[in-house]
């Protein structure tokens, strides 16, 4: 049986990669992809704990996280399309309307 | 044997997640994410969550990633994307988190597998999908209904956001948006 800490380390690495991607990249689509990485890292944690504690509730929560991820992608990509139509760019350095 | 599978899946997941962030072209990022989703599904199979592995492939690889690729290709991006100006701050945050995680791991040592007495088992008499269904439609019935409401709101919101303005004088790019599920 693989120790639980291996799964936690893997999930930590993936989550950290997602955080760095959100902070580092300027393409707004890559930022959304990095958010997906972070969601998947938490899902790995949920499933690993669900297996180790023999409780199926963790897998149910992964199911709900999947729903939220699908909704987030639909709305996020719609916002990106609206943004591109208005500004003709998806580079976040050029989207500074809220900056003062 | 189990460990070999885990090392393979974990290695590919870590490598592709770094590729998602590191590649310049958004399409390559999306393809790397696709490979990562498949290997996460494989990891779920080794954790005896077969139903979630199937859902992961159908929803993530089948719906979400196709939507991403649609948008990437519709927007027809030039490859002038460089890293953000504040990358030293991002590197500092990342290094701090890595050091913190290492310190915590070394101080706490390795955990031994704890088997708690849960109420529902995933590997009981019924199948994995059956166990999830039993819990989902009884204990978590209300969150399930809320999730369906979230999906409805997301559907309507995506259509409203992405549709063209009627009579607007902004440049019309003729983009049509497709929905997941």
Q: Does B110 touch chain A (CB under 8 A)?
A: yes
Is A97 part of any domain?
no
User: pLDDT for B57-100, tens place per residue?
Assistant: 999 888 899 999 988 888 876 655 566 667 788 788 888 888 88
pLDDT value at residue B176? 53
Which of B52, B77, B96, B140 has the most A C-beta neighbours within 10 Å, making it the best mutation to test the interface with A? B52
- Tell me if residue B23 falls in helix, strand or coil: coil
Q: In which band, very low, low, confident or very high, does the pLDDT at B153 lie, cut at 50, 70 and 90?
A: very high
**Alpha carbons within 13 A on the beta-carbon side of A67:** 16
Which of B49, B107, B137 has the most A C-beta neighbours within 10 Å, making it the best mutation to test the interface with A? B49
Across the A:B interface, residue pairs with CB atoms under 8 Å apart total 251
For residue B87, the distance in angstroms to the closest alpha carbon of chain A comes to 5
Q: Please give the residue range of the domain that contains residue A76.
A: 4-87
- Residue A25 confidence (pLDDT) above 60: yes
Q: How many domains does chain A have?
A: 1
Is A99 part of any domain?
no
Q: Are B81 and B24 in contact (CB under 8 A)?
A: yes
Specify the range with the lowest mean pLDDT, choosing from B5-9, B52-56, B163-167: B163-167
Is A98 part of any domain?
no
User: Which CATH number belongs to the domain containing residue A33 in this structure?
Assistant: 1.10.287.3510
User: pLDDT for B24-67, tens place per residue?
Assistant: 888 889 999 999 999 999 999 999 889 999 999 999 888 899 99
pLDDT value at residue B37? 94
Number of H helices, E strands in chain B: 7, 0
Is A96 part of any domain?
no
Q: Which residue of A has its CA nearest to B174?
A: A85
Q: Which residue of A has its CA nearest to B137?
A: A60
User: pLDDT for A55-97, tens place per residue?
Assistant: 888 999 999 999 999 999 999 999 888 888 888 888 888 888 7
In the numeric block, the tokens 């760019």 are attached to: A89
Which of B6, B13, B39, B103 has the most A C-beta neighbours within 10 Å, making it the best mutation to test the interface with A? B13
Give the whole-angstrom CA distance, residue A30 versus residue B24: 9
Query: Which residue of A9, A17, A25 is in closest CB contact with B84?
Result: A25
Outline where DSSP puts E strands in chain B: none
Is A92 part of any domain?
no
pLDDT value at residue B116? 52
- Residue A23 confidence (pLDDT) above 70: yes
Give the whole-angstrom CA distance, residue A49 versus residue A58: 7
For residue A95, the distance in angstroms to the closest alpha carbon of chain B comes to 13
* Residues within 8 A of B (CB atoms), A 67-96 only: 67-75, 77-82, 84-86, 88, 90-93
**A91, β-bridge pairs:** A27
- Residue B119 confidence (pLDDT) above 50: no
pLDDT value at residue B90? 77
- Residue B134 confidence (pLDDT) above 60: yes
Region B3-14: mean pLDDT is 92
Q: Are B83 and A34 in contact (CB under 8 A)?
A: no
Structural domains in chain B, sorted by start: 1-82 (1.20.120.1200)
Q: Which residue of A has its CA nearest to B89?
A: A23
From chain B, pick out residues whose CB is under 8 angstroms from the CB of A29.
26, 29, 68, 71-72, 75, 77
Give the whole-angstrom CA distance, residue A91 versus residue B79: 11
Is A100 part of any domain?
no
Region A12-31: mean pLDDT is 90
The full DSSP string for A14-76 is: HHHHHHHHHHHB-BHHHHHHHHHHHHHHHHHHHHHHHHHTT-THHHHHHHHHHHHHHHHHHHH
pLDDT value at residue B58? 93
């Amino acid at each position: 049986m693989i120790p639980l800490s291996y799964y936690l380390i893997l999930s930590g690495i993936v989550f950290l990669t997602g955080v760095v991607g959100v902070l580092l990249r300027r393409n707004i689509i890559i930022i959304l992809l990095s958010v997906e990485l972070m969601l998947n890292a938490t899902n790995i944690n949920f499933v690993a704990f669900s297996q180790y504690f023999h409780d199926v509730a963790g897998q149910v929560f992964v199911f709900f996280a999947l729903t939220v991820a699908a909704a987030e992608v639909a709305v996020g990509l719609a916002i990106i399309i609206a943004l591109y139509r208005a500004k003709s760019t998806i580079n976040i350095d050029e989207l500074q309307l809220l900056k003062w | 044997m189990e460990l070999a599978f885990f090392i393979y899946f974990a290695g590919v997941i870590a490598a592709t997640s770094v590729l998602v962030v590191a590649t310049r072209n958004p399409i390559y990022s999306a393809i790397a994410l696709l490979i990562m989703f498949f290997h996460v599904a494989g990891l779920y199979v080794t954790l005896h969550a077969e139903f979630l592995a199937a859902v992961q492939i159908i929803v993530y690889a089948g719906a979400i990633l196709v939507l991403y690729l649609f948008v990437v290709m519709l927007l027809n991006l030039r490859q002038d994307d460089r890293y953000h100006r504040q990358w030293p701050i991002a590197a500092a945050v990342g290094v701090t988190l890595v050091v913190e995680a290492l310190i915590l791991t070394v101080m706490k040592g390795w955990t031994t597998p704890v088997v708690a007495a849960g109420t529902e088992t995933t590997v009981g008499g019924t199948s994995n999908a059956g166990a999830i269904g039993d819990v989902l439609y009884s204990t978590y019935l209300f969150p399930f209904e809320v999730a369906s409401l979230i999906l409805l709101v997301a559907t309507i919101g995506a259509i409203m956001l992405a549709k063209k303005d009627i009579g607007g004088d902004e440049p019309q790019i003729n983009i049509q948006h497709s929905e997941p599920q």
